[in-house]
Every structure is written in structure tokens, then in C-alpha cells.
Amino acid sequence: MFNHGSTAIAALVPMLPVKGYGADPTNIVEDETAWRARPVVRSRSSEPKVAVTRWRALDQQTREVSAQTPADEHLVSIVLRNEDVRVSVSGRIVHDGPVTTGTLQVTEPGAQARCLFRGPYDVLHLHVPNAFIAKLGGEASDSEAAPLRSGPALTQDPVVERLARALVAADEIGGPCGQLYVECISTAIVARLLAPPRRALEGGRPKVAELARWRLRRVMEYVEANLAETVSLADLAGAAGLTRMHFAAQFRAATGLPPHEYLLRRRIERAQEMLAEDRESLVEIALSVGFQTQSHFTSVFKRFVGQPPRAWRQRHCGKVRCDDKVAWRSDDRARPLVAA
């Protein structure tokens, strides 16, 4: 996934989504044709609304993009898949390296943002008018609107992540109900970011140190090289050079995810990349990303994506290969999956 050696950095120009993965002009959550481009608001109401767009591609190219946030709005970014990026805001690098699903970043009005994507990416953008923030916060004017929590630094918020994934399902609803659905969930996300963060309830326990970035990269590279194999917690800890107990806690502190959850997400993301290419059967894809029973692959895929793999392929590729009907071997059913 992390294509560090690529020199094919695209110019800072609009990029169309990859064929077979989005790019539907009728979508309620619109695919961006230019990074962070705010769509035309469809509502006839004069009330300020949050617009939601999606920036995504599955190919391995490296792309660098730049955009300035309008002076009258905040831009909320929510990562929907594991990525490798360099992010700078107002000329200052705020992150350079892997980011995991659920990572959150807020760009303030008027700030210049630049991002280098190394490989596949999928990011949800909320274009939040200052007037909307002021109204939601009960302020008298836009200038008095409270700033959204998080700021330019990348953070994790599991509640925002779940709400963002719910937003993606808006296209399944469609029509006026889908529009109302988007408005309600996007409002909930903004309200969450306006609320002061709750203090930890650990009773003063010391905070766990995050896994060092170089260790995290080694673990992610190990996962990429071994998605088709049985991967244990001890394997991942060994890649990081730590004991299992210290590794699990530090990995979660750095990514917001337990190691096993991260491994499953990467398997499903790789499966999506392969399904979008429409070349191999579901059986072949499942085996190649480390699943050893059809029921497990389907249930995990549906949990993360919201659809079974066959339905997802039909939606994004327009057809299902006939060899998807190949039966699983009886010996495959008997082998359990051992993971972190």
C-alpha cells in the first residue's frame, strides 16, 4: 500500500476518481473532481448547510494536491481507510507517514493545505460554514463562532469515525430522505467537534506511550507483505521489536485500533482493491487476503463495508464474474483463521 519509491507525482490539478470506484454524479455524497472542492449546495433553503464530499482512489500512484480553505468555512477531513500521507497546513508539516481509519483533521478558514498521498486513499470531507457553526453553538455572529475541536493536528475519535461511515451509506437511501439523513449525521459530527473533550476516566492511570513511528511503519510493512498468511499478535510484536504486551498497548495508542482490528481492515481494503479490478473470483480474493472460510470473509467484509462482497462488486464494477460461483474446498472450511 505504501508506495514510497514512486516518482509519478501528479501536478497540482484536479483528478477524476478511478474508474469503477465511485464517480457517480447522482450520489448524495459526491466524489470530488478536485481535492476539497465544495459542491454546489442543492438545498433551496437560505439556512447554512454542511456539504459532504469524498476524495478517493484505489491505484498506487503518488499524488500531491493543494487547496485553500474558504474564509467562511472550516474543512473537516475523516480518513476512511489506512493511508500513507504527508499533510501540511499553512506551510507547516503536521503529519508525514501512515494514518489509520478514523483519523480526523480540521483545517481552519483561509488556511492553505497541501497533501501528498502515497498510494490508495479514501477521505470524507465536511465543508462546514462558519455561520452553521455559530448557529449550532448559539453564537450571535459568525465571527464569534467557537472553533471546532481537533485543529490541524491529526487525531482519533471513534464516535466521529462511526458517524462518518454512516454518512457513506446515504447513497443507499437516496432521494430527499437521503439528503435529510446526510444533514442529520453531518450535524451530529459538527456538534461532536464543538463539544469539549471528555476527560479520561482511568482514575489517573499513566497514559500509554504511542508506538514509535519507525516501529509502526515496520509493522504496517509486515502486514502488507503477509496479508495472505496467518498473522499472530506475536508476529506483529516481533516486527516492531517489542513484547506482545507492550506492543498491543502502544499500537492502539498510536492508531486508535487494536492490532487485530487493523489487520482485518487491511485485509478488507485489499479485497476491495482486487474486487474493483474484476479479475479474480471471490474465492481467490478471499484466500489471497488471509481468510480461510467464505462465511468469515463475507461477514467481516459486510461489517466494515456495509455490503457483502458480491453486492459491492456489482455496484462498483457493474457485473459479477461467473467463476465467483466456484465452491470452497472442504479442507478450507476446516482450517481456522489465527490472527492477532
How far apart, in whole angstroms, are the C-alpha atoms of residue 316 and residue 318? 6
Cβ-based neighbour number of residue 140 at 10 Å: 8
How far apart, in whole angstroms, are the C-alpha atoms of residue 211 and residue 192? 27
Cα-only R_g, the chain: 21
Homologous superfamily of domain range 213-334:
Homeodomain-like (1.10.10.60)
Q: CB within 8 A of 37, min separation 6: which ones?
A: 14, 53, 67
How far apart, in whole angstroms, are the C-alpha atoms of residue 82 and residue 80? 7
**pLDDT single digits (tens) 162-210:** 898 888 877 677 677 878 888 899 999 998 888 765 544 344 455 778 8
How far apart, in whole angstroms, are the C-alpha atoms of residue 108 and residue 39? 18
State the pLDDT confidence band at 147, using cuts at 50, 70 and 90.
low
Residue 141 confidence (pLDDT) above 50: no
Q: What mean pLDDT is predicted for residues 294-314? A: 86
Q: How far is CA 80 from the centre of its chain?
A: 1
Q: At residue 333, what are phi and psi to the nearest 5 degrees?
A: -65, -30
At residue 180, the pLDDT reads: 86
At residue 278, the pLDDT reads: 66
Domain limits, CATH 1.10.10.60, in the chain: 213-334
How far apart, in whole angstroms, are the C-alpha atoms of residue 56 and residue 61? 12
**Which strand (E) or helix (H) includes residue 99?**
strand 92-99
Mean pLDDT of the chain: 77
**Please, where are the H alpha helices in 137-256?**
158-168, 170-173, 175-194, 213-225, 233-240, 244-255
Residue 45 confidence (pLDDT) above 80: no
Q: Which of 53, 54, 67, 55 is nearest to 110 (CA)?
A: 67
| More confident: 293 or 278 | 293
At residue 135, the pLDDT reads: 84
Residue 112 confidence (pLDDT) above 90: yes
β-partners of residue 31 are 54
At residue 274, the pLDDT reads: 87
Q: Does residue 195 sit in helix, strand or coil?
A: coil
Q: What mean pLDDT is predicted for residues 91-101? A: 87
**Which strand (E) or helix (H) includes residue 62?**
strand 62-68
Q: At residue 110, what are phi and psi to the nearest 5 degrees?
A: 80, -5
Rounded to two decimals, what is the model's pTM? Answer: 0.69
At residue 67, the pLDDT reads: 93
Domain limits, CATH 2.60.120.280, in the chain: 9-194
- On the 0-12 / 13-18 / 19+ scale of CB atoms within 10 A, 253 is middle
**pLDDT single digits (tens) 222-268:** 999 999 999 999 999 999 999 988 899 889 888 878 899 899 989 99
Residue 304 confidence (pLDDT) above 60: yes
Report, in this order, helix, strand and coil percent for the chain, each rounded to 5.
40, 20, 40
Residue 62 confidence (pLDDT) above 80: yes
At residue 86, the pLDDT reads: 92
**pLDDT single digits (tens) 2-42:** 333 333 333 333 333 433 334 444 567 888 989 998 877 65
Is residue 301 within 8 A of residue 312, CB to CB? The reply is yes
How far apart, in whole angstroms, are the C-alpha atoms of residue 267 and residue 314? 20
CATH class of 9-194: mainly beta
Q: Which of 180, 224, 290 is nearest to 82 (CA)?
A: 224
Task: For the chain, give the number of residues.
Answer: 340
**Please, where are the H alpha helices in the chain?**
130-136, 158-168, 170-173, 175-194, 213-225, 233-240, 244-255, 259-277, 282-288, 294-305, 309-317, 330-334
Q: Which of 255, 223, 155 is nearest to 2 (CA)?
A: 223
Q: What mean pLDDT is predicted for residues 134-155? A: 65
At residue 155, the pLDDT reads: 85
How far apart, in whole angstroms, are the C-alpha atoms of residue 291 and residue 130? 46
Helices 259-277, 309-317: axis angle to 10 degrees equals 40
**Which strand (E) or helix (H) includes residue 31?**
strand 30-31
Residue 154 confidence (pLDDT) above 50: yes
